[in-house]
Structure 1
Amino acid sequence: MGLNPKGRNWGSLVNWDDLGKFYAGFVVAWTVILYAAVAFLIINRNLAFIKIRNLPLAIAAVSFLHVYLVKIFLAYTTNGHFLCSAEFWIMSIYLPFGIALFQANLAQLRSISDQQRDLVYTRHGSFDGPASLSAAQQVRHRWSSLSGIQKSYVYIGTGMTVQLIITAALYATTPTLQGDWSSYGDVSHAKGQALCRKSLEWIPSAFWQLAWSWLYGPCLLFRVRNIHDVHYWRLQVIYSVISGLPGTPLWLAALYSTAFKPVNRWWVPPMWLAPGIVVMQFTTIFFPIYEIIKSRLQLRQTLAILESWEDRRGIIQSSNNADSSRASSDQPSITSSQQRDLYTMAALERALASNPNPLLKFAATRDFTAENILFLIQVQRWKEAYASALRANNILSESVQSQLFQSAVNIYISRVNDKTTEFPINIESRIRQDLDTVFGPAEPTTRLIPDEDMSYYEAESWTKSPKTTSTFHMGNSAHSGASVETLTAIQVLMSFPVDKHESMFPPHPGVAPLGESRAQMRAGFDEHVFDAAHRSIKYLVLTNTWQKFVKDQQPSIDIRISD
């Protein structure tokens, strides 16, 4: 059929030529691909790195943008038969709302990064009943207790509400948007449709698009400039913000400049927004999918390494004895088998026992899984305290048991219970239910509010911490004849001490208000109460965070075999 030589001419017939078919085919194919990908994400929504992205908000943003995308791709095909009033509402609501929701979703990156750092700083609020505060104080405390992303949601929601009110007012007071074109004189239907789309009432819509794309977007880009996550989230922000910048200026230029008239016949003015929208949708949906696929491949590789390592355990001793007879003062080169040893559970356990700070910093600043590392450290120290507690006739006194129980409640409140922590560890529902049964009755009932005067562990910025060398010793120290592999990595030390005798984790304020009856130990509380959760999280860390950490530090890792 070829092309309609007149292109989009606002005529009485639709443009079902080759270009019109291409536009229609593209939007249908993209819709199928996009929402098949959305369905895939929904199926995998329980993955930790998908949860932190706020999937419902991401899908809402993509859907709002997609409604507008469908409309503009069919603008050439419909040839002006789409009502001007309907296009006004879509242009003024769906597109700006979609961009606003999209920016809110991107702001999640900065919020997650800040909250992960707060986990490590262990700054807590204090518990206080709302009855002790005046109405104004309650509002102030509620606002100050909101996270950065929650405040962003309030700002963005307010802007969207104002925009909706202005759009409704413009539509109600503008006859031309309602189909009354008498102000244009005696014009044809096609001419009226064209003039309607150039009226000044469209300017607020352009303003909102410019505000979200040219003001909020670059501001967000500046705020996340120092975040270097492993989830491709910062890269998504960069691509999305930059791709959204040219659309609105080009749309306005095509709409009001006669120089664009030849182009407008085949590429209608609103379509200048389409490339940016497609990039936003692609990065929002397909970047997480790529991470899911990569994570699964990494898991397979990890399991293969662990299986290979288990097979090699039986011959390591004899190999080490043979090597010791011809050992020299020269350091041997790194072998692939030695590198594979870094990925094993033994390597992870040694790192957690000797110096967990580099791993904890990586988890908090790049993988956003600090809660898992903190849980492993806290449980291990709690178990050490339980094992070394004073006993009379091998029986713990009631006071010691009470202290251990309150320490365990602290771990439960700060790491497990999703009602009292922003980042609960990702464990199986059965394990969580068991912990809820033991510690749930001891959960505080009062509300947590920030307390600016409360003393807490002051930590200096990681960016100001000196670089040092952290050493992880690999091997079984019980066998003096066995070789010891020493992993040396240049790391940035964390701000808090590693000495297990120091108070690394201040008591959570949720422990303080426990009453006598609510603080009583439940059946099932013993030194093994966290074992199932500990194993689950340690395996999760081994197959995810630890693998990324080792790969990230490979250039600075040196392995030495010593007698």
Structure 2
Amino acid sequence: MPVILAYSIQYFFMGIWFPLGVALFHASNSRFLHVAKLQKQYMQPELRSKSGCNGADSSWICRSRNMSYTKKIMLPIGFGIVLQILLTTGMWLACRKYHPSWGIPGTEIRGDNLMEQMIDLSQGWEWWPSVFWQVIWTWIVAPILLYRAWGIRDTMGWRFQTVGCCLSSLHATPMFMIACYVPAFQVINPYYPPSQWIHLSIMFFEIFTIIIPAIQVVQQRRMVKKSAKLNAKWETCSQTTTLRTSTSIEGKNSNISLAEKASSFDYLDEELGNRLLTMAALDYVLNENPEPLQEFSALSDFSGENIAFLTRVTRWKSTLTHAVTEENNLICYNRAMDIYVDFISMHDAEFPLNLPSQQLKQLEEIFETSTRTVLGEAVVNPATPFDFPSPSHGSRGQGDSKDHLLTETQYTGEIPAAFSPAVFDAAQAHIKYLVLTNTWPKFVAEMQSRRKSSETERTDISGDSQMTLASQVSSFFKRLL
């Protein structure tokens, strides 16, 4: 009985736990791929999602088309999970191997000795659904997913995880079947049971999906602390240098000396990496040439909304006029409301910024009522703001987009008293710090790595843009120092 109990546990482990894990991993992969596609809109605005069909209340086809992407993915996966659980439970109840006193006749355990009975317990039709799902994902679903995502080079290891899980699982089912039904393997099976071939793939699954991400989280936290520490140190040194050069009689000579030290400054020079991990360098790139950073953040880091928000706010501030008139204030407010809708609103933004609740509440008090006046009411679950709903009729897209509505239907009501040119300053500072400690170090390291691997290689972020940034940032630091 202990042997039968052990195989019953293994049967449910392989019949429910393993397929459930693979299904959820596939759901996560599909969602990542969807996010990667949506992030391309920050480089190519024409890729913004198209409008869904109208008549969602009267047609089940329209309801399915307008369903959120998460639901579209989870419905078939959930159906498969329920089907697998029912099959696994039903076959266990029907098979007398696991409970000799009842079940379908003819399914009893066979064998004259314990070894033969153990071999019979590890074989049989009741195992087929589990290995079927494993074969489907490893040999069909995963390769198709990787083919669709082949051009993605993400910084979070998502593509690496999927490739690793796929390759480490290719052997599992073929070797399991061979070990079970090829007589030559009967010599090996006592030392390495057939199920161990699948257990080996599960072990690699856990390494790629649990251990490696945990290591990446630790590395990410170290990088954030390092970036914050280096930036604080550099800012302190800059303030000290400025004070000394302004009060010392030899200030001019000191300034020249520092400029000479910076004369060899190279944006892609690994030796100067610490100097690049500062807010001054990030500010300069954002003001002078943000396109390469925007491309990297959208296509590799999946955080393109952060750079897009910073550049939009900078452009918005540059359009502000000193002439204080009611008309100018209204124009300024409408442009600010555009930024709120695209990047901050939990109801309308496709990728809402990661802002503290206090800052978000303050901005909602200034813009939310006006936004609802122009765009109408919207329904969203605050607990799942990234549910990626499919665009319904009148939502963002070509023709009936929110941008179009805001352009055609301007807000003409009363401007809240809390609105001012500094309305986005707190959010801008917060997002800029997130970029400095997360995206910016990855961007610098990636650019240095690409240059080191091949000086002449043309990458997605062109070599010309890199050299342009090199000369511009170098010149900036010469002036700064």
TM-score by length of 2: 0.75
Shift of residue 121 of structure 1? Answer: 3.0
1:357 CA drift (Å):
0.7
Q: Give ranges in structure 2 of 5+ residues lacking alignment.
A: 246-250, 380-390, 452-465
Distance 1:350 1:264, change over 3 A: same
1:255, CA displacement in angstroms?
A: 2.0
Aligned residue pairs, count = 425
Residue ranges of structure 1 left out of the alignment (5+ in a row): 1-11, 13-77, 457-505
Give a deviation string over 1:381-418, Cα, whole Å, max 9, x none.
Answer: 22222x227x3xxx221x43333323222222221123
Residue 163 of structure 1 corresponds to: 84
Q: In the alignment, is residue 542 of structure 1 matched against residue 476 of structure 2?
A: no
Measure, in 1, the Cα distance between the counterparts of 2:173 and 2:259: 74
Does the alignment pair 1:449 with 2:392?
yes
Mapping 1:335-374, distance limit 5 Å: 340-374=274-308
Report if aligned partners of 2:344, 2:353 keep a CA contact under 8 Å in 1: yes
> Would the alpha carbon gap of residues 186 and 100 (structure 1) be closer, same or farther in structure 2, given more than 3 Å must change?
closer
SS of residue in 1 equivalent to 2:187 = helix
* Higher fraction of helix: 2
Measured in 1, the distance between the counterparts of 2:415 and 2:396 equals 32
Report the equivalent of 1:465: none
Match of 1:121 among 14, 31, 44: 44
Look up the equivalent residue of 2:321 and give its one-letter code: S
Quote how far apart the aligned CAs of 1:333 are: 6.8
One-letter amino acid of the counterpart of residue 121, structure 1: Q
CA offsets per residue over residues 501-550 of structure 1, 9 Å max, x none? xxxxx963574797979x64333111111111111111111122122212
2:321 paired residue number: 388
Question: Conserved in 1, the CA contact under 8 Å of 2:53 and 2:62?
Answer: no
Shift of 1:365: 1.0
Report the Cα offset of residue 151 of structure 1: 3.7
Structure 1 distance, partners of 2:364, 2:392, is 23
Aligned residue for 1:264, secondary structure, equals coil
In the alignment, the residues of structure 1 paired with residue 53 and residue 342 of structure 2 have an alpha-carbon distance, to the nearest angstrom, of 20
TM-score for both structures, normalised by structure 1? 0.65
Counterpart in the other structure of 1:376? 310
Give 1:120 deviation, angstroms.
Answer: 3.8
Sort the Cα spacing of 1:128 and 1:279 in 2 relative to 1 into closer, same or farther, 3 A.
closer
Distance 1:361 1:87, change over 3 A: same
Is 1:211 the counterpart of 2:136 in the alignment?
yes
Deviation of 1:284 (Å): 1.6
| Secondary structure, counterpart of 2:348 in structure 1 | coil
Report Cα offsets for 1:196-252 as digits up to 9, x if no partner. Answer: 442223223321221122211222222222211122222212211111221222222
Q: 1:297 aligns with which of 201, 222, 236?
A: 222
The one-letter code of the counterpart of 2:17 is Y
- Which residue does the alignment assign to 1:308? 234
Q: Is the 8 A contact 2:138 2:169 kept in 1?
A: yes
The amino acid of 1:210's aligned partner reads: V
Contact 1:113–1:368, Cα closer than 8 Å, also in 2:
yes
Pair 1:107–1:287, CA change in 2 (3 A): farther
Letter of the 1:425 counterpart? L
Choose between structure 1 and 2 for higher RCO, CA contacts under 8 A separated by at least 6 residues. Answer: 2
Conserved? CA contact 1:127–1:449, under 8 Å: yes
Partner of 1:111: 34
Deviation at 1:337, TM superposition (A): 8.1
Task: Supply the AA of the counterpart residue of 2:392.
Answer: I
Q: Structure 2: how far apart are the matches of 1:270 and 1:425?
A: 47
For 1:150 and 1:126, the matched residues in 2 are separated by 18
Residues 125 and 449 of structure 1 are in contact (CA less than 8 Å); yes or no, is this contact kept in structure 2?
A: no
Of 194, 212, 217, the residue aligned with 1:287 is 212
1:129 and 1:224 map into 2 onto residues whose CA distance is 28
Which residue of structure 1 aligns with residue 183 of structure 2?
Answer: 258
| Structure 1 residue identity aligned to 2:435 | V
Structure 1 residue 172 displacement after superposition: 5.6
Residue 470 of structure 1 is matched in structure 2 by: none
CA distance, structure 2, for counterparts of residue 126 and residue 104 of structure 1: 23
In the TM superposition, what is the alpha-carbon distance from 1:294 to its structure 2 partner?
A: 2.0
Aligned residue identity for 1:396: T
Q: Percent identity?
A: 25
Q: Is the 8 A contact 2:138 2:170 kept in 1?
A: yes
Pairing partner for 1:435 from 363, 366, 371: 363
The reply to whether residue 424 of structure 1 matches residue 352 of structure 2 is: yes
Q: Is the 8 A contact 1:125 1:451 kept in 2?
A: no
Q: Aligned AA for 2:325?
A: L
One-letter code aligned to 2:415: M
In 1, the alpha carbon distance for the partners of 2:260 and 2:136 equals 71
Q: 2:460 is matched with which residue?
A: none
What is the Cα deviation at residue 431 of structure 1? 0.9
- SS of 1:529's equivalent? coil
Are the structure 2 counterparts of residues 325 and 113 from structure 1 closer, same or farther at C-alpha, using a change threshold of 3 Å?
Answer: closer
Q: Give the AA of the match of 2:309.
A: F
Matches within 5 A, 1:443-482: 443=372, 444-446=376-378, 448-449=391-392, 455=398
1:139 aligns with 2:63: yes
Matching residue of 1:402: 330
Determine the C-alpha separation between the residues in 2 that align with 1:325 and 1:420: 48
Distance 2:113 2:207 in 1: 38
CA distance in 1 between partners of 2:277 and 2:147 (Å): 35
Aligned partner of residue 66 in structure 2, secondary structure: helix
Relative to structure 1, the CA distance from residue 187 to residue 358 in structure 2 (aligned partners, 3 Å threshold; closer, same or farther) is: closer
Q: Partner residue of 2:169?
A: 244
> For the aligned residues, what is the CA RMSD?
3.8
Q: Give the distance between the partners of 1:215 and 1:537, measured in 2 at CA.
A: 40
Residues 145-180 of structure 1: CA deviation (Å, up to 9, x unaligned): x44x65443343333344344445545655556534
More strand, by proportion: 1
Residues 254 and 260 in structure 1, CA contact (< 8 A), matched pair in contact too: yes
Counterparts in 2 of 1:19-58, with a 5 A limit? none
